[in-house]
Copies of this chain bind each other. A is one copy, B any other.
Amino acid sequence: MLPPRRQKILAAIVEQYIETGEPVGSKALLANAGLDVSSATIRNEMAELTALGFITQPHTSAGRVPTEYGYRYYVDNLMQPKELEENERRRIEAGVDYRSGDPEILLETAGEALVNLTNFAAISKAPSDENAFIRNIEMVPISPKKAMVVLLTSTGILKSKPCRTDVEIDADLRKTFIDVVDQNFLGKPLSSVGTVMIQTLAASLGAKALSMSPLLVTIADLVEAASVSEVNLAGQSNLLGYKEYDDNAGQLLDFLHREEPLNMLVSSGDTDSDIEIRIGSENRYKELENSSMIISKYKIGENATGAIGIIGPTRMNYSKLVPSIKYLSEIISKVLSDVYEEETSSGEEG
């Protein structure tokens, strides 16, 4: 544990650097932090902090800049999350589209709200639920031999796909479809649907297998599509404004367009803590070595979880951002739970 004065100095350096973006020197620190010592003393302490790896110098005759380790120590031990200001609370609330109830739209607008609020890029992940089940499957004919198949899951995800059948869609086929869906899909977990299951099912249909087969395949595709929860990104272009990305902005943006790593980013991490801060190389991706993420998990009921957060340069105002993201995450939890959770005994309000 660092001695109190050193802690105070480290915190002051981090905060001042976050604010100004310039390496902070001993004198500037003296003016700013409420310390009753001379600049020489501060210099001595700074030399110590440098030796310990908390701060570093861009070059010999420059001020100090926090290292990743320094940020980490600050975030873990020194930072005091700021109270969320009333007008920011309102900005968040105003930005989120409660009304539609569509989780996609909710997350999209929530992401945009974060973007506007923070001037960073926002990342969000739609709710994924291991226990999600099939709420409904419909077949809507659009021509004699084509139909749109629509899947709705318990988490509110809706997927659809056109399907071309080998035979004409008549009352008979529709009846069969409804029966098959009723008995084999409704209420079943998404994870139970797969190639094997479809084949077994087709085999058991006997004479009707031929006509049903394309429809079954389409259902399987839809379930597959509904199982991978999408990651959304917004405000990437904000990042261009920060000088830490001047060189390799393209590289970063390209990285953020790729699906898999994004998914990893919002999926991994502690399951117990509701907010997670990852600084620089803690993100495990070379492209993010100068970036930090603040990610908060949200819950819908017991099983479904998603995440929302921001990506920006390591030099971000952690103490201010954390409460904002926490609050937004709570809102999402609440709104989505309200719409999609099985209703319990508790009454409902307007």
Residues of A within 8 A of B (CB): 100-102, 135-136, 138, 140, 142-146, 148, 150, 152, 154, 156, 158, 160-162, 164, 236-238, 240-241, 249-250, 253-254, 257, 339-340, 342-343, 348
Contacts and interface: CB of A to CB of B under 8 A. Distances in A.
B138 A142 contact: no
A140 B136 contact: yes
Contacts of A340: 142, 162
A328 to B, nearest CB: 20
Contacts of A140: 135-136, 138, 152
Nearest to A342: B143
Given A101-B161, A148-B158, 17 more contacts: A101-B164, A135-B142, A138-B138, A138-B150, A142-B340, A143-B342, A145-B343, A150-B158, A156-B162, A158-B158, A158-B160, A162-B340, A236-B237, A236-B253, A240-B249, A240-B250, A249-B249
Contact of A162 (B102, B144, B238, B240): B102
Contacts of A348: 145
Given A142-B135, A148-B156, A237-B257, A162 B339 contact: yes
Contacts of A253: 236-237, 240
A100 B154 CA distance: 23
16 contacts: A135-B140, A138-B138, A138-B140, A140-B152, A142-B152, A142-B156, A143-B342, A143-B343, A146-B339, A150-B158, A158-B158, A158-B160, A162-B340, A238-B250, A240-B240, A249-B249
A264 B142 CA distance: 31
Contacts of A254: 237
A312 B140 CA distance: 41
Nearest to A148: B152
Nearest to A160: B158
A144 B249 CA distance: 50
Contacts of A339: 146, 162
A135 to B, nearest CB: 6
